[in-house]
Chains A and B, each alone.
Chain A
Amino acid sequence: DAGVTQSPTHLIKTRGQQVTLRCSPKSGHDTVSWYQQALGQGPQFIFQYYEEEERQRGNFPDRFSGHQFPNYSSELNVNALLLGDSALYLCASSPPFVPNTGELFFGEGSRLTVL
């Protein structure tokens, strides 16, 4: 049973460019959340998707957008990249309410470097 998979694992972009990160949730999970983890910091919540809609959003600008597909996979898009967007982007999935222990399953992340 595959866990949460993310792609790409590493990528380098320059300021002003746009990036798309992808996530496939664990089998049976319908909810996908995205977190940004800057170096030496804890993950920060970006947004969450289920039923193909953004349901919750953290304190991130509109340059950060996302999408969820009918198969529950998700994309995170960041436009007009800034140096400060350099971070590890983590995707987490969780199952529907029942059964649900509140545990999030995380992927290994996509490490984005903006030059």
Chain B
Amino acid sequence: AQKVTQAQTEISVVEKEDVTLDCVYETRDTTYYLFWYKQPPSGELVFLIRRNSFDEQNEISGRYSWNFQKSTSSFNFTITASQVVDSAVYFCALSEGGIFMDTGRRALTFGSGTRLQVQP
């Protein structure tokens, strides 16, 4: 069975600090997708990134970067120079069952989330 573990329940940093959110996953499939979502207080989950199991290249988008390592089954998320607006709950998620067909019709398995508080 698939599983996503986010061991960090809550992290508090001061603005401009760098912070890394950890994500470890378990799956028996060789093809799968990994995701990060942000959940602000409004409740809506906001998509941040998707990676497929064949692409281990790290990705950077502005202040955000992601490190995918299949050898350790980890997909960690780093925010550089954090800002107060980054305060939210962040979820890592996994979908199994192939990366070429019906991608948007795969159920996601979420971790329990990491609450990030950025203090001014």
Interface residues of A (CB under 8 A from B): 31, 33, 35, 40-45, 48, 50, 55-56, 58, 88, 90, 92, 94-95, 97, 100-109, 111
Task: Assess whether A97 is in contact with B44, with CB atoms less than 8 Å apart.
Answer: no
* Cross-chain pairs A/B with CB under 8 angstroms, 11 sampled: A31-B104, A35-B108, A42-B91, A45-B107, A48-B105, A50-B105, A100-B102, A102-B95, A102-B106, A106-B46, A108-B42
Number of chain B interface residues as a range: 20 to 34
| Nearest chain A CB to B67 CB, angstrom units | 20
**Docked pose: A80 CA to B49 CA in angstroms:** 38
Q: Contact check: which of B45, B46, B50, B107 meets A101 at CB < 8 Å? A: B50
Interface string of B6-36 (1 = CB under 8 A from A): 1000000000000000000000000001010
**Docked pose: A29 CA to B50 CA in angstroms:** 19
A45/B104 contact (C-beta < 8 A), A102-B95, A106-B45, A107-B44 known: no
| Nearest chain B CB to A41 CB, angstrom units | 6
Residue of B nearest to A109 (CB): B43
A90/B47 contact (C-beta < 8 A), A95-B104, A102-B104 known: no
| Nearest chain B CB to A115 CB, angstrom units | 21
Residue of B nearest to A44 (CB): B110
Task: Assess whether B105 is in contact with A31, with CB atoms less than 8 Å apart.
Answer: yes
List chain B residues, Cβ under 8 A from A100: 102-104
Task: Assess whether B33 is in contact with A102, with CB atoms less than 8 Å apart.
Answer: yes
Residue of B nearest to A56 (CB): B107
**Docked pose: A42 CA to B4 CA in angstroms:** 10
List chain B residues, Cβ under 8 A from A107: 44
| Nearest chain B CB to A52 CB, angstrom units | 14
Task: With A43-B91, A103-B50 given, name 12 new contacts (CB 8 A).
Answer: A41-B112, A42-B112, A43-B45, A43-B108, A43-B110, A44-B110, A90-B43, A92-B45, A97-B104, A102-B99, A103-B104, A106-B45
